[in-house]
Amino acid sequence: MIDKLGSVAQVLLRLQAKAGGATGAARPGSPTAPAAALTLQQRALQRLAGVDREDPRRRHKALRAFIEVRLLAEFGDGLVNDPEFQHVVDEVVRTMEASPALQPDIGVAVDQLLAQAAP
């Protein structure tokens, strides 16, 4: 599985411009083609539905939800319950949050995602 995730950096670079590019269209024949009915944003919003609006870690959880669904779209939904995959998602999010260069883009993406999650 780690070999499959070896190109995580390239996958993240392919995240379309900020959150606006999170259309989530699956490639034909990709592992997630049946789940393509929901966009990446919709899938991330589903994950955020249970997060309390007052949760101080809500922004972190929004970013993590988006990264997780994006990686699952790339590598297949079968990884969702794999503890190693969850560890990789945590590491990717931690690395992104620690990068000052990514902060503006992360802020825009999370703001857009949370605005859509608002009732």
- Taking only the tens place, the pLDDT of each residue in 10-44 is 444 444 333 344 434 334 344 444 445 577 667 77
Q: Residues 53-85: pLDDT tens digits?
A: 899 999 999 899 889 888 888 888 888 888 999
Burial environment of residue 20 by CB neighbours within 10 A (0 to 12, 13 to 18, 19 or more) = exposed
Check residue 73 and give its pLDDT.
85
Check residue 74 and give its pLDDT.
87
Give CA–CA dist 93/70, Å, rounded: 12
Check residue 7 and give its pLDDT.
39
The DSSP line for 20-43 is TT---PPPTT-TTGGGGGS-HHHH
